[in-house]
């Protein structure tokens, strides 16, 4: 089995899960996966030679590699997220690959308003917010359009994945909270779903196994334990031993500020992620939690690590 993007937190966890299930695992990414027992192919999904080498002789593909950012050159998002997916799909057809799991994102169906108990809504590149969501929506549609009797394609959308070793969400929340630069939006009352890393990985592995039976479908993956944003952020801060945010900004103000920062970032991008974007403000101030009944029934899967246990494990990783 091939896993792309296995140098990231989720990619490594997925590769490990598939390896533990008894499969041979090959990975494709630009830096070593640092996983024992896997065959690393170093390269990019934008490079035809790397993709051909990685897909040769594999039975299934889990595609996680993507450009993930709140800002950046739109052409780069298109090249990696759309072009890379298309290149992998073509190589899969040429190599006789039988299963393809497209790791997508719930943002492909988020247009700025609350999502309250919905299942996986249709991906919509036109209404998606930002270049990441737009290109992930387009690539999901490409993948599902390639579903056939010979190539079973499933799209999975893990929602806000976190856990020990997370250098993106958790590390940034903790650092900004430590510096006193992390406000709550609208008191942090919005109810949202998240996914502990072990659960996200096992769900994706389950989608790979179940692809012949459930192909052609998209599934949102979460812990199924929606909680207020403020509570989730406080849990991550407590795990790291830093004070939780105690000040708030009206959601409308944050959205306006996010739009302004995006405009400046396009002209003079900073070295790191922008401190706020309109998409991020919407994500932190609107509810988004999902009906998990179809996901669990079709994938024959359920989370094994609760959010509370996840916070305990996160705290242990910080030595707390």
DSSP-derived letter for residue 59 is: S
Told to judge if 196 belongs to the known catalytic residues of this protein, a careful annotator would answer no
In angstroms, how far apart are the furthest CA atoms of the chain?
Answer: 55
| The two structure tokens encoding residue 144 | 């599902």
Nearest to 155 by CA among 141, 165, 169: 141
Q: Strand, helix or coil at 73?
A: coil
Strands 195-196 and 161-162: parallel
CA 152, CA 205: separation in Å to the nearest integer? Answer: 14
Q: Where are the beta strands (DSSP E) in the chain?
A: 2-4, 26-29, 39-42, 60-63, 99-103, 115-118, 152-158, 161-162, 184-185, 191-192, 195-196, 218-221, 227-228, 248-249, 288-290
CA 186, CA 253: separation in Å to the nearest integer? Answer: 10
CA 115, CA 89: separation in Å to the nearest integer? Answer: 30
φ/ψ of 28, rounded to 5, equals -135, 115
Alpha-carbon 315 to chain mean position? 22
**Which residue in 132, 196, 219, 318 is the catalytic one?**
132
How far apart are the two ends of the chain, measured CA to CA in Å? Answer: 37
| The two structure tokens encoding residue 87 | 């290149």
Q: Provide the 10 A C-beta neighbour count for residue 167.
A: 9
Pair 237, 230: CB distance under 8 Å: no
Active site residues: 132
């Amino acid at each position: 089995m091939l896993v792309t993007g296995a140098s990231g937190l989720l990619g490594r966890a997925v590769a490990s899960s598939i390896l533990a299930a008894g499969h041979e695992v090959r990975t494709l990414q630009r830096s070593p996966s640092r996983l024992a027992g896997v065959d690393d192919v170093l390269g990019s999904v934008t490079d035809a030679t790397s993709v051909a080498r990685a897909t040769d002789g594999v039975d299934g593909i889990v595609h996680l590699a993507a450009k993930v950012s709140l800002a950046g050159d739109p052409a780069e998002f298109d090249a990696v997220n759309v072009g890379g997916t298309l290149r992998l799909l073509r190589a899969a057809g040429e190599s006789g690959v039988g299963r393809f799991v497209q790791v997508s994102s719930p943002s492909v169906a988020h247009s700025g308003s609350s999502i309250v108990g919905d299942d996986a809504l249709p991906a919509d590149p036109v209404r998606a917010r930002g270049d990441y969501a737009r290109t992930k929506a387009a690539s999901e549609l490409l993948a599902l359009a390639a579903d056939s009797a010979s190539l079973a394609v499933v799209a999975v959308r893990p929602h806000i994945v976190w856990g020990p070793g997370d250098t993106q969400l958790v590390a940034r929340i903790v650092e900004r909270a430590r510096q006193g630069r992390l406000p709550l939006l609208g008191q942090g009352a919005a109810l949202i779903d998240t996914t502990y890393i072990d659960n996200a990985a096992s769900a994706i592995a389950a989608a790979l196994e179940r692809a012949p039976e459930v192909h052609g479908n998209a599934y949102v993956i979460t812990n199924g334990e929606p909680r207020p944003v403020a509570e989730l952020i406080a849990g991550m801060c407590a795990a790291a031993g830093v004070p939780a945010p105690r000040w708030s900004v009206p959601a409308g103000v944050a959205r306006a500020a996010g739009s302004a920062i995006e405009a400046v970032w396009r002209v003079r991008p900073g070295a790191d992620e922008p401190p706020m974007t309109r998409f991020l403000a919407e994500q932190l101030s609107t509810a988004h939690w999902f009906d998990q009944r179809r996901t669990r029934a079709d994938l024959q899967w359920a989370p094994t690590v609760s959010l509370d246990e996840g916070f305990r494990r996160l705290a242990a990783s910080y030595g707390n």
